[in-house]
Amino acid sequence: MSIVSRRTLFALGTALSVCVALPAFAHHGWGWTSEEFFELEGTLTDLYIGQPHPTLTLNDGETDWTVELAPVGRTLASGFDETVVAIGDTVVAHGHRSTDEAEYRMKAVRLMIGDATYDVYPQFAAELDQ
């Protein structure tokens, strides 16, 4: 194989890797969220605790919202898991919604279920108490 072919293959491989990785970086960062805090109250209709991060589906009476939580380890460390909530429960999520208002999606820093509070991002949730 010539040097030019190896360089071409390397460049194509690198470009493909970047194209595959970029959506994951965009999805898991905070760049898609607004800066202002947002509160969503709704009925839990679905729950997923797993990789890459847990998610809830909350229905606010009109729309199903996807609520993304912290990575699994952080979420579980907050005390939140599938034993503290059930489908049909009312959940209040505090965090940041998508900057695309047509997208019903938010990243939560705090969940409230009944009298219990779960700060999945405690460093950001502390801002809610100020």
Can you tell me the distance from the alpha carbon of 3 to that of 7, in angstroms, rounded to the nearest whole number? 6
Residue 114 — pLDDT band, cuts 50, 70, 90?
very high
Q: Calculate mean pLDDT across residues 2-15.
A: 51
Q: Which pLDDT belongs to residue 42? A: 98
Return the residue matching tokens 């965009």.
26
pLDDT tens profile 21-74: 334 444 457 899 999 999 999 999 999 999 999 999 999 999 999 999 999 999
Strands 64-68 and 105-113: parallel
pTM of structure:
0.77
User: What pLDDT is recorded for position 5?
Assistant: 61
Percent of the chain with pLDDT over 90: 72
Largest Cα–Cα distance in the chain? 68
Both structure tokens of 1: 């194989």
Q: How far is CA 23 from the centre of its chain?
A: 14
The three-state secondary structure class of 88 is coil
